[in-house]
């Protein structure tokens, strides 16, 4: 998205006379880019007309930085759309709060419940988890596992198993069910299956989510937990039964906050889905999950618009700590591909030793990404050094050098590149000019590192890509005394 918008703005900057037509053309380009990022159509249209109102054609004509004016307008419009005007309910430590999670199956509710609990536990809260998902057979086990890992108290129902007699085994084995679920009514499930010793088991479970939710909430209130989190079931589709069950659980547990969990990869479906949930329960906040994938993020705007509630966190991975407080400005920066400066600098201060901060910032501000800097960064990443986290905040950086799920191959690749760089001269390493590498130099480097020329070329291509990302940081202002809090 960033690239497309930048291009549209660039094109307009090149036009000498900015009239209504040039502006409209530029905005149309930007509209297309936003739609492709899953921002819903009505929102894009609204934004387009707002920008037209804000941007004054005379200002544009008077030689002001046109690009900057429009960029600022888009930025502030997107920020405004993500701000519903009222903050979400914040649990207090002194009195018990009930927070209920809702969302479609697979959206990430159970995972996010634990992340949310863990986050607050670190802040000194006493959280507890209640599993009111009686629809999926393994739901309670999943919650239990997560909660145990984070040492958070949990509540739910186990299934009670009762072995069957021989002849029944024979009869049942005709079906060869390894595990089978029979829903007798909405409140009762019959489970049966064959375990490894061919023992047939079946179990019957109380499956009234409302009853279990109330039991759990009551118990944890008695145990003085101040943050009681209720995980509910989802269905694949937005069925009436799901909404009815949600309504009943909400009515019985009286949550202080209902959080709608949305998978960021659902694209343009975000608005309708969020709206459907909002119409059934009093959604008060949104959490967007799977932001680590290929999702483009525009769905967040739709969710806010449809629920009139703020996004409070985003999920960025399957692990407990892959969870970030949602911050509007850095999010919009990232959406527009501008890079997340405030987050980046914060992280830098957090993880880079104080005496190394000015030096790194100096290098960044020069925007001159030499092969030696790349070498040092690779070293850092291979050592799992703190800079890995820092560079993950930059758009493109982590996906270029270490895409998620391909860590092993990426590591091998980095090592390969470093061996090749070991065969370079100092002059080559300290330069950012790839023209130095003529055919004979490349052959020499390949021979020196036991590689082939094609691989050297591939490495230089990768270097150019990274240098481009790094170059975007050029001009980052650094106070002379190295005090980065002023940034």
Query: Whole-number minimum distance, CB 107 to Mg ion, in Å?
Result: 8
Q: How far apart are CA 123 and CA 93, in angstroms?
A: 10
Binding residue (CB under 5 A) for Mg ion from 31, 37, 48, 110: 110
Say how many Å lie between the first and final Cα of the chain, rounded.
Answer: 26
272 vs 322, beta carbon nearer ligand GDP: 322
Query: Strand 160-163 and strand 311-315: pairing?
Result: unpaired
Query: CB within 8 A of 252, min separation 6: which ones?
Result: 210, 213, 214
Binding residue (CB under 6 A) for ligand GDP from 108, 209, 299, 395: 108
- β-pair partners for 311: 286
Query: Whole-number minimum distance, CB 73 to ligand GDP, in Å?
Result: 31
Binding residue (CB under 6 A) for ligand GDP from 318, 321, 407, 461: 318
Binding residue (CB under 6 A) for ligand GDP from 66, 120, 290, 296: 290
Query: Whole-number minimum distance, CB 126 to Mg ion, in Å?
Result: 23
3-state class (DSSP) for residue 340: coil
Binding residue (CB under 6 A) for ligand GDP from 2, 91, 216, 234: 234
Closest CA to 273 of 105, 99, 111, 44: 105
120, interface contact from Mg ion, ligand GDP, none, CB < 5-8 Å by kind: none
Binding-site string for ligand GDP from residue 182 to residue 221, where x marks contact by CB under 6 A and - marks none: ----------------------------------------
Q: How far apart are CA 377 and CA 466, in angstroms?
A: 11
List % helix, strand, coil for the chain (3-state, nearest 5).
55, 15, 30
Q: Which residue is nearest to ligand GDP (CB)?
A: 315
User: Can residue 111 be called a binding residue for ligand GDP (CB under 6 A)?
Assistant: yes
66, interface contact from ligand GDP, Mg ion, none, CB < 5-8 Å by kind: none
User: Can residue 315 be called a binding residue for ligand GDP (CB under 6 A)?
Assistant: yes
Among the residue ranges 102-110, 160-168, 324-332, 468-476, the one whose residues contact ligand GDP (CB under 6 A): 102-110
What are the backbone angles phi and psi of residue 206, rounded to the nearest 5°? -65, 125
Cα-based distances in Å from 220 to 96, 255, 340:
9, 14, 40
Among the residue ranges 73-81, 103-111, 160-168, 386-394, the one whose residues contact ligand GDP (CB under 6 A): 103-111
Among the residue ranges 2-10, 100-108, 211-219, 467-475, the one whose residues contact ligand GDP (CB under 6 A): 100-108
450, interface contact from ligand GDP, Mg ion, none, CB < 5-8 Å by kind: none
User: Can residue 316 be called a binding residue for ligand GDP (CB under 6 A)?
Assistant: yes
Q: What single DSSP character describes residue 134?
A: -
DSSP 218-277: HHHHHTT-SEEEEEE---SS--HHHHHHHHHHHHHH--SEEEEEEEGGGGGGHHHHHHHH
Query: CB within 8 A of 155, min separation 6: which ones?
Result: 128, 129, 130, 131, 212, 215, 216, 219, 220
User: Can residue 109 be called a binding residue for ligand GDP (CB under 6 A)?
Assistant: yes
Q: How far apart are CA 170 and CA 238, in angstroms?
A: 40
Binding-site string for Mg ion from residue 116 to residue 155, where x marks contact by CB under 5 A and - marks none: ----------------------------------------
Q: How far apart are CA 408 and CA 465, in angstroms?
A: 21
Residue 255: how many other CB atoms lie within 10 Å: 25
Query: Whole-number minimum distance, CB 274 to ligand GDP, in Å?
Result: 15
280 vs 289, beta carbon nearer Mg ion: 289
Q: How far apart are CA 344 and CA 355, in angstroms?
A: 17
Query: Whole-number minimum distance, CB 133 to Mg ion, in Å?
Result: 5
347, interface contact from ligand GDP, Mg ion, none, CB < 5-8 Å by kind: none
74 vs 286, beta carbon nearer ligand GDP: 286
Query: Can you give the C-alpha Rg of the chain in angstroms?
Result: 27
Q: How far apart are CA 217 and CA 433, in angstroms?
A: 64
373, interface contact from ligand GDP, Mg ion, none, CB < 5-8 Å by kind: none
Q: How many residues bind ligand GDP (CB under 6 A)?
A: 17
User: Is residue 250 a contact partner of residue 284, using CB atoms and an 8 Å limit?
Assistant: no
105, interface contact from Mg ion, ligand GDP, none, CB < 5-8 Å by kind: ligand GDP
Question: Which three-class secondary structure string do you get for 42-64?
Answer: HHHHHHHHHHHHHCCHHHHHCCC
User: Can residue 297 be called a binding residue for ligand GDP (CB under 6 A)?
Assistant: no
91 vs 234, beta carbon nearer ligand GDP: 234
195, interface contact from Mg ion, ligand GDP, none, CB < 5-8 Å by kind: none
Query: Whole-number minimum distance, CB 289 to ligand GDP, in Å?
Result: 4
Residue 62: how many other CB atoms lie within 10 Å: 10
- Applying CB under 6 A, which residues contact ligand GDP? 103, 105-111, 234, 289-290, 292-293, 315-318
- Applying CB under 5 A, which residues contact Mg ion? 109-110
């Amino acid at each position: 998205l960033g690239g497309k918008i930048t291009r549209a703005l660039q094109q307009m900057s090149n036009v000498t006379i900015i009239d209504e037509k040039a502006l409209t053309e530029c905005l149309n380009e930007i509209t297309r880019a936003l739609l492709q990022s899953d921002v819903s159509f009505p929102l894009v249209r609204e934004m387009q007309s707002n920008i037209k109102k804000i941007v004054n054609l005379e200002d544009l004509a008077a030689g002001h930085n046109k690009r900057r004016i429009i960029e600022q307008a888009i930025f502030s419009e997107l920020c405004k759309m993500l701000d519903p005007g009222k903050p979400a309910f914040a649990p207090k430590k002194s009195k018990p709060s009930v927070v209920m999670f809702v969302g479609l199956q697979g959206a990430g509710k159970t995972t996010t419940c634990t992340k949310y609990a863990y986050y607050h536990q670190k802040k000194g809260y006493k959280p507890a988890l209640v599993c009111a998902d009686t629809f999926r057979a393994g739901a309670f086990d999943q919650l239990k596992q997560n909660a145990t890992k984070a040492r958070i108290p949990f509540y739910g129902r186990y299934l009670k198993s009762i072995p069957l007699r021989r002849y029944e085994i024979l009869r049942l084995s005709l079906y060869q069910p390894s595990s089978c679920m029979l829903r007798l009514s909405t409140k009762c499930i019959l489970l049966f299956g064959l375990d490894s010793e061919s023992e047939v088991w079946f179990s019957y479970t109380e499956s009234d989510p409302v009853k279990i939710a109330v039991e759990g909430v009551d118990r944890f209130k008695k145990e003085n937990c101040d943050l009681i989190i209720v995980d509910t079931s989802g269905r694949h589709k937005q069925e009436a039964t799901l909404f009815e069950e949600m309504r009943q659980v909400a009515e019985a547990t009286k949550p202080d906050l209902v959080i709608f969990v949305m998978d960021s990869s659902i694209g343009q479906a975000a608005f309708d889905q969020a709206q459907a949930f909002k119409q059934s329960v009093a959604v008060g906040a949104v959490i967007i999950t799977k932001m680590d994938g290929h999702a483009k993020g525009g769905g967040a705007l739709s969710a806010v618009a449809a629920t009139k509630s703020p996004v409070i966190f985003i999920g960025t991975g399957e692990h407990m700590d892959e969870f970030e407080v949602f911050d509007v400005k850095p999010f919009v920066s990232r959406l527009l591909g501008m890079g997340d400066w405030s987050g980046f600098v914060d992280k830098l201060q957090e993880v880079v030793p104080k005496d190394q901060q000015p030096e790194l910032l100096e290098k960044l501000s020069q925007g001159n990404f030499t092969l030696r800097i790349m070498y040092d960064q690779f070293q850092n990443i291979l050592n799992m050094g703190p800079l890995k986290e820092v560079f993950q905040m930059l758009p493109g950086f982590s996906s270029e050098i270490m895409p998620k799920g391909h860590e092993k191959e990426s590591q091998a690749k980095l090592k390969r590149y470093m061996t090749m760089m070991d065969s370079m001269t100092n002059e080559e390493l300290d330069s950012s000019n790839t023209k130095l590498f003529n055919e004979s130099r490349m052959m020499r480097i390949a021979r020196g590192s036991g590689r082939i020329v094609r691989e050297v070329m591939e490495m230089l291509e990768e270097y150019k890509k990274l240098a481009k990302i790094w170059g975007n940081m050029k001009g980052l202002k650094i106070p002379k005394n190295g005090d980065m809090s002023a940034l």
